[in-house]
Structure 1
Amino acid sequence: MKYSLLGQTGVRVSKIALGTATFGVAPGAEEAERVVGAALELGINFVDTADVYGNMPVFDRPGAKPAAEREPAEQILGRALRGRRDEMVIATKSNGIVGLGVNDRGLSRRHIITQVEKSLRRLQTDYIDLYYAHDIDPDTRPEQTLEVYDDLIRQGKIRYVGLSNHPAWQVTRALWIADDRRLASAPVAAQVKYNLIDRAAERELAPACEQFGLSIIPYAPLHGGLLADLAVLDREVSGDERFGAPGFSEAEVSVAREVDRLSREWGLSPYQVALTWLLSRPAVASVIVGPETVDELRANATAADVLLDTKQLDALTALAIEPPAFHHRAGEGPLKPTSADAIV
């Protein structure tokens, strides 16, 4: 396994991160614990979870226990890491709907403190390494959210802060607020859907993260399994159908077929090629895979050791359905911040 720095924290995380969104469904609880154990054996030291993962109705599928009978993914993870917690950098999140009450979501002081305490209990730990704002909360000023994160950092309950599914301008605004108020909660990472097919993150988020030293942590790096193996098309549930959304479009399948062709030409597997390409992109530190079995995890982990040359990477980049709207003129790259730079 190879490792990258997480933002400017000095913490090193494995280039392959373990995702737990469907823990308790696929893999089931017992298999999920084996997946966690296999991750540690493979040198994977970065795991991603959230307060809403695992036991939400949106994850229901034939053959799995109904949501009301499933454990939260955090609880499964906490049990699997018992006695080995310090070997893993744990990232979790809040802002998803966790109940029927009007205040059972959001990024308010009230909700964040409640959810941090619940996550700590489920994870069987006294600290969280990386805590994300899961999504945007238009009803709460970011100053309040960053200030409660700052309080939690000073209390030792969380170590670092990240933003998930936030556009570049909000990431930049959060950095400005933290700098202006001298808060310890300046974001160090941005989590976003990003893969060879879905490259929207490259328009503004990636250049902003590269400019200000944040790491990008992509989820869905294999586009719901489509970039892993075309056999996924034969599954009863695949892609975003796992989360109650539509399946794959013809254009997406067309790109995946070309990735499959190129990977075979190069003597590699499609998942190795897709993950290696993503790890080569600016600011990307680690990619979150969501294996349903130990074998899938072991296969995905091999991508950390694959090297593609410039010609191969360029051939893959050219497959994008829609080229990024943001680009630099030939020969130019993003400016590197200096210690004297102010975020304005």
Structure 2
Amino acid sequence: MQYAILGSSGIRVSRISLGTATFGVAPTAEHTDRLIGEALNLGINFIDTADVYGNMPVFDRPGAPAAADREPAERLLGRALRGRRDEVVIATKSSGIVGHGVNDRGLSRRHIIRQVETSLRRLETDYIDLYYAHDPDPDTPLEQTLAVYDDLIRQGKIRYVGLSNHPAWQVTRALWIADDRRLNAPVAVQVKYNLIDRAAERELAPACAQFGLSIIPYAPLHGGLLADLGVLKRDVVGDQRFQGMGFPESEIAVARTVERLSHEWGHQPYQVSLAWLLSRPAVASVIVGAETPDELRANATAADVQLEPAQRDALTALVNEPAAFEHRAGDGPE
């Protein structure tokens, strides 16, 4: 496994990180320990979760427990890491809807403190390494959100701060506020980013490269399309757009080219797609939502794949114009 420095934190994280959004579905609660154990064996020390992961209906599928019957991913992760917690860098998040109350969401001081305490209990730990604002909150001043994060760092409950799904102007403003008020500044951003969906390259990636923040992409294989064209036959339930179904022909054409080039180069499409993303400016680690140890072992090999400049250029040229960035309002799942 290869490692990279996370922003200005000084800590090293594995270039492949494990995502937990589907924990409880795939892997099931009974198989979570095995997947976490394999991640540690592979040298993966960076695990991504959130307070809403594990029991979201969008990940329902045949044969899996219903969302209401599943445990939170944080709880499954905490149980699997008993006795090994200090071996990993845990990233979690808040701002999503976690209840029926009008204040059960957002980035207010009240909600953040409540969710940090909830996450600490579930994870069976007394600190969180990286804590993200999951989505922008238009109802809470950014100054308030950054101030409570700073308080939590001083209390030792979180170590570093990140921003997820925030456009470049908000990331830049957060850095300005932190500098002006002498607060702990964000060290990383999380955003959807892959060979097909490259909206982050318009403004966010240059801003992160300029200011020294790491980019941690999610959906690096574009819903599985860049891993294996067999995804087009996948049977899913729930929000198919979120699951990555209903791909337009233009995206399928890109995936077919990636598949052809990968085989010509002696690699698998998932290796080439992840290796390309890891070569992009400011990208420190990519989050893979592996469902089995075999899938995780396969994805982990991408960290050691070194593409030639001409190969990287050929892949980059497949999508010439990144789409415009559309930030989310904070009322949906990652």
TM norm. shorter chain > 0.5: yes
- How is 1:251-330 mapped onto 2 (pairs within 5 angstroms)? 251-320=250-319, 322-323=321-322
Partner of 2:99: 99
- What do the CA deviations read for 1:257-285 (whole angstroms, capped 9, x no partner)? 00000000001000000000000000000
Q: TM-score when scaled to structure 2?
A: 0.95
Q: CA deviation at 1:32?
A: 2.1
Q: CA deviation at 1:107?
A: 0.0
Q: TM-score when scaled to structure 1?
A: 0.92
C-alpha separation between the residues in 2 aligned to 1:154 and 1:11? 18
- How is 1:1-344 mapped onto 2 (pairs within 5 angstroms)? 1-184=1-184, 186-237=185-236, 241=240, 243=242, 246-320=245-319, 322-323=321-322
8 Å CA contact 1:239–1:248 kept in 2: the answer is: no
Q: CA deviation at 1:245?
A: 6.8
Gaps of 5+ in 1: 327-344
8 Å CA contact 2:61–2:238 kept in 1: the answer is: no
Query: What's the % identity of the aligned pairs?
Result: 80
Q: Counterpart amino acid of 2:257? A: E
Partner of 1:338: none
C-alpha separation between the residues in 1 aligned to 2:127 and 2:174? 23
Q: Counterpart amino acid of 2:299? A: N
Q: 1:274 to 1:243 in 2, by over 3 A?
A: same
The count of aligned residue pairs is 325
C-alpha separation between the residues in 2 aligned to 1:247 and 1:90? 32
Q: Counterpart amino acid of 1:98? A: V
Q: CA deviation at 1:67?
A: 1.1
8 Å CA contact 1:131–1:161 kept in 2: the answer is: yes
SS at match of 2:224: coil
Q: Counterpart amino acid of 1:58? A: V
Q: CA deviation at 1:324?
A: 6.6
Superposed structure 1 runs of 4+ greater than 3 Å apart: 242-246, 323-326
C-alpha separation between the residues in 1 aligned to 2:114 and 2:188? 23
Q: 1:321 to 1:59 in 2, by over 3 A?
A: farther
C-alpha separation between the residues in 1 aligned to 2:67 and 2:322? 39
Q: 1:228 to 1:244 in 2, by over 3 A?
A: closer
Q: CA deviation at 1:56?
A: 1.7
SS at match of 1:233: helix
Q: Counterpart amino acid of 1:32? A: T
8 Å CA contact 2:223–2:245 kept in 1: the answer is: no
C-alpha separation between the residues in 2 aligned to 1:325 and 1:106? 25
8 Å CA contact 1:51–1:92 kept in 2: the answer is: yes
Q: CA deviation at 1:243?
A: 3.8
8 Å CA contact 1:25–1:60 kept in 2: the answer is: yes
Q: Which of 244-253 and 33-42 deviates more?
A: 244-253
- What do the CA deviations read for 1:190-214 (whole angstroms, capped 9, x no partner)? 0000000000000000000000000
- What do the CA deviations read for 1:80-121 (whole angstroms, capped 9, x no partner)? 100000000000000000000000000000000000000000
What is the CA RMSD across the aligned residues, in angstroms?
Answer: 1.6
C-alpha separation between the residues in 2 aligned to 1:293 and 1:321? 34
Q: 1:324 to 1:61 in 2, by over 3 A?
A: closer
Gaps of 5+ in 2: 326-334
C-alpha separation between the residues in 2 aligned to 1:126 and 1:247? 42
Q: CA deviation at 1:325?
A: 7.7
Partner of 2:330: none
Partner of 2:332: none
SS at match of 1:224: helix
